[in-house]
């Protein structure tokens, strides 16, 4: 059971960092950015790139990659999405799919399709209550928790955060109240890009750097954002950890014992858990698990 | 012909409709007036099946319709138009008019593939009819243009035309004169009278009291989700509750009104 | 060279069928289907699994078409509760689910290695005349799908779809069942995708989970957007152009000095750039949808 909790916290952290970016951008622009998960891929490869050209410590490598991806996200919004959104949210969504494919194609063209490893010292796992945990995983969970806590604090306590939430809740009213929507949107994209890159960097430290590391998370991340109710940051975070827990539990439960035998859900179906939850939730609660009001377009 | 009985509808904690009852008899032209936010559009949405009421009932020609889908209500011969009569940008006026017609042959995918001749024959008659109606609405010269490119007033007229293509027994019109130019307004009143003469009952949400007085037999006044008065148009200005409801709501800032809903401030005259 | 072009043409015609299918959904009705490959997969695996068990090819094909129609109708029904963006994600999820099942149920689908030695057509002919015969067959099926698509979109049925695409409330107010329209257009177009899947499987004698990757859906989207969303003739042209582009770039590592694994990325890059470029600069595509002119005489 301890292992289930540890695994869920690790996976939940990755999903949460990406899901809040998706949900924030949706809140401000009412458009679901499929390319959100590629910010993780870009963050991880960005770190590999920084490591290869600059002799700086690992912390600085990560920081440079994260800020760079954040700025890239703002640029992509300004150059690509402002124009596509002028046609329609549907056009922007197709465009984000194209962008997602393009990002991976560019990386593959430059560095090839093989996974990369960050140059990190090998670590010994520690035993916490019967669960095997590496220090990297502990750091991953802790850093994510801090980052998410800071984000939520900023959104709730600072004038900037309140502006973001105001635009998200009611764009017309926020505009009437004199909130600069353009600046708010830029900031939102920076946060989405930076947190996505952070997820990528942490994932890269825990496992490896690969082309599909972001796209592989697309459906669970969307599932978390939708479960939490698109536009709700707190909901997305809670849903991400919940989804991760359900994923790990489903794999651990002996469903066969219900009929007096042995039968586990094969681990290959891990990704399917998120899909199935996503479809079921979309069907019965399009407003998300925690939402009160349907947010249908 | 159409009756609402104690209709309630809440949005969150807000009671948009708080027990509305009304009845429209066959052959009448009835107006529904009230200040902005009084629940007129919500009521129209409930009557036409676009919203399911939280309580109460709606009956049309003796049968309950408040649980039906909007298209089922429309197929029963009860059609409506919208306050913002947005039209498609990639369909021509003629196409929109045809979409309003009942074309059973062409509506079937199977028959449109394998019975092309019958589909064409059925359509030919509808095209004649559509062009005639467009002519009456002064839209015929634009028949092949994109419907979405029309002015707001023309889009209103087009949605009226499309609704008429289905020979509705009753029409619910949401601010038919908003955005329509004054000359056309005259002809519109004329046209609605002809429609009634041909056997269509009308319920009209309207801000223009001159238009109401000229056209309608009876008026229901809605305020804060309740019917506060039911009278002849000429009695409107004498009713204190009506005057109060209106004067209490008239706001000088035009900016607060939703785009497209640019009705003139209510003018109550005797 | 001729062999190469013939092969491109056959595959382009099969993808043209997929493009017609997607165009009925996305172009005519505004349904963003990001899981089109799922319907392709239903047709492909129905053919693969049936013929593996010795069933004649028409049976496998028919099973695929019926299953796809049912699945399409069910997916269209989801459009009742889901707004456009949510529906798009749901289709992607369902197609991925199907791919996972294909990957993991070895007993049925032979898992990751896929089903090979699916019997092809025209096996009595020489290689070149066989491809020529295949091109004839694929083009015939494509023409048939195009014809159905034209008939359907030209009549009242198509007007309702377009009205659902742009002003669903107006469509409902005029008495048109908005959910029913989505269900019906999915039930018509999904079997077309399954037909393409079945033909493709017979043509290359193989079906595996790798062919159900989301990239296939993406390729068809590129064809439809490049050709002109909403224009059936345009999307067929788009299919031909994009398929040619995708196949010609196969030789890109011969021209440029890059490792062949990296060149795979460059090929994808070309397709992605075409899609984004068209969305950005010419969102109507090469042959944009035009207003349909209805004459009093027609």
pLDDT for A289 equals 67
pLDDT for A263 equals 66
pLDDT above 60 (res C23): yes
A48: nearest Cα among A140, A130, A114, A118: A118
H-state helical runs in chain B: 40-47, 70-75, 93-99, 104-107, 109-114, 116-136, 152-164, 182-197, 209-215, 240-247
Q: What is the DSSP secondary-structure string of A238-282?
A: HHHHHHHHHHHHHHHSBGGGGGTS--B--GGGHHHHHHHHHHHHH
Q: How far apart are CA C121 and CA C119, in angstroms?
A: 7
C266 touches chain A (CB under 8 A): yes
pLDDT above 80 (res C189): yes
CB contact under 8 A, B87 and C292: no
| Residue to substitute from C272, C281, C289, interface A, most A β-carbons within 10 A | C272
Residues 6+ apart with CB under 8 A from A65: A43, A44, A46, A47, A49, A50, A197, A201
Say how many CB pairs under 8 Å bridge A and C: 135
Percent of chain A with pLDDT over 90: 50
Average pLDDT, whole number, for chain A? 87
pLDDT above 90 (res A151): yes
pLDDT above 50 (res A67): yes
**Chain A residues close to C266, C-beta within 8 Å:** 105, 109
Confidence of residue A295 (pLDDT cuts 50, 70, 90): very low
pLDDT above 50 (res B215): yes
| Cβ A297 vs Cβ A30: under 8 Å | yes
pLDDT above 70 (res B255): no
Task: Show the CA angle centred on residue A57, arms to residues A55 and A62, nearest 5°.
Answer: 105
A34: nearest Cα among A78, A79, A92: A92
pTM here?
0.91
pLDDT above 70 (res A296): no
CA torsion, points A220, A223, A228, A234, in degrees to nearest 10? 20
pLDDT above 50 (res A218): yes
List A128's β-bridge partners, or say none: A131
pLDDT for A169 equals 84
C32: nearest Cα among A24, A220, A81, A96: A96
pLDDT above 70 (res B157): yes
User: DSSP character for C28?
Assistant: I
Q: Which residue of B has its CA nearest to C178?
A: B71
Q: How far apart are CA C136 and CA C13, in angstroms?
A: 10
Question: Quick count: other Cβ atoms within 10 Å of Cβ A71?
Answer: 14
User: DSSP character for B255?
Assistant: G
Determine how β-strand B170-174 pairs with β-strand B201-205.
parallel
pLDDT above 80 (res A89): yes
The residues spanned by each domain of chain A are: 2-293
Residue C193 or residue B138, greater confidence:
C193
Task: Map residue B203 onto helix, strand or coil.
Answer: strand
pLDDT for B254 equals 39
Residue A166 or residue C147, greater confidence:
C147
C107 touches chain B (CB under 8 A): no
Confidence of residue C280 (pLDDT cuts 50, 70, 90): very high
pLDDT above 90 (res B11): no
CB contact under 8 A, C167 and B92: no
pLDDT above 50 (res B266): no
* Nearest by CB: A279 against C94, C100, C263: C94
CB contact under 8 A, A226 and C93: no
Q: How far apart are CA C39 and CA C196, in angstroms?
A: 9
CB contact under 8 A, B71 and C177: yes
Percent of chain C with pLDDT over 70: 99
pLDDT for B163 equals 96
User: Could you tell me if the ipTM is greater than 0.85?
Assistant: yes
Q: Which residue of C has its CA nearest to A227?
A: C86
| Cβ A215 vs Cβ A104: under 8 Å | yes
Per-residue pLDDT, averaged over C203-213, amounts to 94
Report pLDDT digits (tens) over C218-273.
Answer: 999 999 999 999 999 999 999 999 999 998 888 877 777 778 788 888 889 999 99
C-alpha distance from C183 to closest chain B C-alpha (Å): 12
Per-residue pLDDT, averaged over B195-215, amounts to 91
Per-residue pLDDT, averaged over A245-272, amounts to 75
CB contact under 8 A, B113 and C151: yes
Task: Report residue C256 CA to chain centroid gap.
Answer: 32
Alpha-carbon distances, residue C19 vs A173, B44, C142 (angstroms): 42, 41, 10
Q: How far apart are CA B103 and CA B96, in angstroms?
A: 13
Average pLDDT, whole number, for chain B? 87
CB contact under 8 A, C261 and A112: yes
Confidence of residue C120 (pLDDT cuts 50, 70, 90): confident
pLDDT above 60 (res A81): yes
Q: How far apart are CA B202 and CA B28, in angstroms?
A: 6
Residue B264 or residue B156, greater confidence:
B156
| Residue to substitute from C76, C149, C159, interface B, most B β-carbons within 10 A | C159
Q: How far apart are CA C10 and CA C22, in angstroms?
A: 19
Task: Show the CA angle centred on residue C175, arms to residues B89 and B2, nearest 5°.
Answer: 125
Instruction: Tokens 């990369």: give the residue.
Output: A116
CB contact under 8 A, A268 and C100: yes
Report pLDDT digits (tens) over A275-284.
Answer: 788 778 777 7
Ramachandran assignment for A204, one of left (phi > 0), alpha (psi -120 to 50 degrees), beta (any other): alpha
Point out the least confidently predicted range of A61-75, A176-190, B98-112, B247-261.
Answer: B247-261
CB contact under 8 A, C280 and A95: yes
pLDDT above 90 (res A147): yes
CB contact under 8 A, C298 and B94: no
B120 touches chain C (CB under 8 A): yes
**Chain C residues close to A297, C-beta within 8 Å:** 83-85
**Which residues 135-154 of chain C have a CB within 8 Å of chain B?**
148, 151-152, 154
Q: How far apart are CA A204 and CA A192, in angstroms?
A: 18
Confidence of residue C195 (pLDDT cuts 50, 70, 90): very high
User: The tokens of A290 are what?
Assistant: 């925690």
CB contact under 8 A, C170 and B86: yes
pLDDT for C188 equals 97
H-state helical runs in chain C: 2-22, 29, 36-52, 57-78, 84-104, 106-109, 127-154, 156-166, 168-173, 178-204, 214-227, 232-248, 252-255, 260-281
List A247's β-bridge partners, or say none: none
**Chain A residues close to C249, C-beta within 8 Å:** none
N- to C-terminal Cα separation, chain A: 41
Question: Quick count: other Cβ atoms within 10 Å of Cβ B128?
Answer: 11
Q: Which helix (H) or strand (E) holds B230?
A: strand B226-231
pLDDT for B94 equals 96
B127 touches chain C (CB under 8 A): yes
pLDDT above 60 (res B262): no
Per-residue pLDDT, averaged over B193-221, amounts to 91
CB contact under 8 A, B166 and C174: yes
Residues 6+ apart with CB under 8 A from A9: A141, A241, A244
**Chain A residues close to C271, C-beta within 8 Å:** 101
* Nearest by CB: C275 against A98, A108, A282: A98
Per-residue pLDDT, averaged over A28-51, amounts to 93
Subunits with at least 3 CB pairs below 8 A relative to chain A? C
C174 touches chain B (CB under 8 A): yes
Q: Is A2-293 assigned to CATH 1.10.3470?
A: yes
pLDDT for A290 equals 66
Per-residue pLDDT, averaged over A72-92, amounts to 94
C252 touches chain A (CB under 8 A): no
CB contact under 8 A, C175 and B79: yes
CB contact under 8 A, C162 and B88: yes
C-alpha distance from B96 to closest chain C C-alpha (Å): 8
pLDDT above 60 (res B250): no
CB contact under 8 A, C259 and A94: no
Interior/surface letters A273-290, b for 16+ CB within 10 angstroms, e for the rest: bbbbbbbebbeebbbbee
Interior/surface letters B189-210, b for 16+ CB within 10 angstroms, e for the rest: bebbeebbeeebbbbbbbbbbe
Point out the least confidently predicted range of A54-58, A154-158, A205-209.
Answer: A54-58
Alpha-carbon distances, residue C196 vs B234, C140, C189, C241 (angstroms): 69, 12, 11, 18
Determine how β-strand B218-223 pairs with β-strand B226-231.
antiparallel
pLDDT above 50 (res B259): no
* Nearest by CB: B99 against C148, C151, C160: C160
pLDDT for A251 equals 80
Per-residue pLDDT, averaged over A252-261, amounts to 69
Q: Which residue of A has its CA nearest to C221?
A: A94
Question: Quick count: other Cβ atoms within 10 Å of Cβ B105?
Answer: 19
CB contact under 8 A, C272 and A101: yes
C276 touches chain A (CB under 8 A): yes
Q: How far apart are CA A177 and CA B198, in angstroms?
A: 51
């Amino acid at each position: 059971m301890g292992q289930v909790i540890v695994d869920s916290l690790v996976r939940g952290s990755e999903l949460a960092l990406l899901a809040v970016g998706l949900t924030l951008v949706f809140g401000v622009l009412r458009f679901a950015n499929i390319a959100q998960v590629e910010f993780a891929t870009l963050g991880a490869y960005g770190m590999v790139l920084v490591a290869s050209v600059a002799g700086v410590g690992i912390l600085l490598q990560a920081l440079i990659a994260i800020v760079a991806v954040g700025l890239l996200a703002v640029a992509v919004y300004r150059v690509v999405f402002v124009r596509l959104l002028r046609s329609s949210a549907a056009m922007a969504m197709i465009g984000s799919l194209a962008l997602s494919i393009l990002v991976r194609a560019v990386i593959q063209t430059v560095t090839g399709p093989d996974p990369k490893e960050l140059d990190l010292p090998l670590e010994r796992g520690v035993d916490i209550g019967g669960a095997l945990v590496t220090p990297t995983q502990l750091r991953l969970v802790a850093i994510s928790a801090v980052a998410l806590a800071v984000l939520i604090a900023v959104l709730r306590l600072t004038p900037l955060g309140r502006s973001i939430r105001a635009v998200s809740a009611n764009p017309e009213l926020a505009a009437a109240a004199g909130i600069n929507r353009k600046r708010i949107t830029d900031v939102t994209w920076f946060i989405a890009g930076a947190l996505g890159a952070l997820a990528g960097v942490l994932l890269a430290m825990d496992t490896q750097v690969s082309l599909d590391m972001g796209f592989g998370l697309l459906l669970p991340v969307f599932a978390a954002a939708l479960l939490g109710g698109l536009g709700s940051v707190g909901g997305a975070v809670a849903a991400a950890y919940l989804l991760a827990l359900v994923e790990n539990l489903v794999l651990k439960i002996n469903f066969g014992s219900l009929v007096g035998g042995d039968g586990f859900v094969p681990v290959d179906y891990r990704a399917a858990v998120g899909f199935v939850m996503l479809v079921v939730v979309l069907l019965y609660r399009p407003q998300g698990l925690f939402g009160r009001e349907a947010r249908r377009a | 012909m159409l009756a609402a009985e104690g209709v309630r509808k809440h949005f969150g904690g807000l009671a948009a409709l708080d027990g509305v009852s009304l009845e429209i008899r066959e052959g009448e032209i009835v107006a529904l007036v009230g200040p902005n936010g009084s629940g007129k559009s919500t009521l129209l949405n409930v009557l036409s099946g676009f919203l399911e009421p939280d309580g109460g009932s709606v009956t049309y020609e003796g049968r309950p319709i408040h649980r039906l889908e909007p298209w089922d209500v429309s197929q029963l011969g009860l059609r409506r138009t919208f306050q913002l009569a947005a039209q498609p940008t990639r369909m021509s006026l003629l196409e929109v008019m045809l979409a309003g017609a009942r074309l059973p042959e062409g509506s079937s995918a199977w028959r449109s593939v394998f019975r092309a001749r019958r589909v064409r024959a059925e359509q030919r008659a509808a095209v004649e009819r559509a062009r005639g109606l467009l002519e009456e609405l002064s839209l015929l010269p634009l028949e092949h243009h994109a419907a979405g490119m029309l002015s707001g007033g023309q889009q209103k007229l087009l949605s009226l035309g499309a609704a008429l293509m289905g020979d509705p027994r009753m029409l619910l019109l949401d601010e038919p004169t908003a955005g329509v130019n004054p000359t056309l307004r005259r002809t519109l009143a004329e046209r609605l009278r002809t429609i009634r003469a041909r056997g269509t009952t009308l319920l009209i949400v309207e801000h223009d009291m001159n238009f109401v007085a000229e056209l309608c037999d009876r008026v229901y006044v809605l305020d804060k989700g309740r019917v506060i008065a039911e009278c002849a148009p000429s009695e409107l200005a004498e009713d204190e509750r009506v005057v109060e409801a209106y004067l209490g709501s008239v706001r000088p800032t035009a900016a607060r009104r939703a785009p497209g809903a640019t009705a003139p401030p209510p003018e109550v005259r005797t | 060279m001729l062999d190469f072009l013939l092969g491109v043409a056959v595959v382009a015609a099969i993808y043209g069928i997929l493009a017609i299918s997607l165009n009925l959904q996305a172009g005519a009705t505004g349904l963003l289907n990001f899981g089109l490959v799922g319907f392709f997969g239903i047709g492909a695996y129905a053919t693969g699994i049936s013929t593996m068990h010795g069933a004649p090819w028409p049976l496998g094909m028919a099973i695929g078409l019926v299953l796809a129609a049912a699945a399409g109708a069910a997916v269209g029904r989801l459009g009742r509760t889901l707004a456009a963006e949510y529906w798009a994600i749901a289709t992607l999820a369902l197609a991925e689910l199907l791919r996972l099942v294909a990957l993991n149920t070895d007993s049925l689908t032979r898992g990751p290695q896929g089903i090979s030695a699916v019997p092809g057509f025209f096996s009595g002919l020489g290689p070149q005349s066989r491809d020529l015969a295949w091109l004839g067959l694929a083009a015939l099926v494509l023409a048939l799908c195009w014809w159905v698509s034209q008939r359907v979109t030209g009549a009242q049925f198509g007007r309702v779809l377009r009205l659902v695409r742009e002003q669903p409330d107006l469509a409902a107010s005029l008495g048109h069942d908005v959910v029913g329209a989505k269900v019906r257009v999915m039930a018509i177009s999904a079997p077309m995708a399954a037909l393409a899947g079945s033909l493709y499987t017979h043509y290359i004698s193989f079906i595996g989970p790798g062919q159900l990757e989301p990239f296939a859906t993406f390729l068809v989207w590129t064809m439809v957007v490049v050709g002109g969303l909403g224009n059936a003739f345009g999307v067929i042209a788009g299919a031909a152009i994009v398929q040619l582009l995708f196949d010609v770039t196969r030789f890109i590592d011969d021209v440029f000095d890059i490792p062949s694994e990296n060149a795979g990325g460059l090929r994808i890059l070309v397709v992605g750039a075409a899609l984004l470029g068209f969305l950005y600069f010419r969102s109507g595509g090469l042959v944009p949808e035009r207003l349909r002119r209805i004459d009093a005489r027609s």
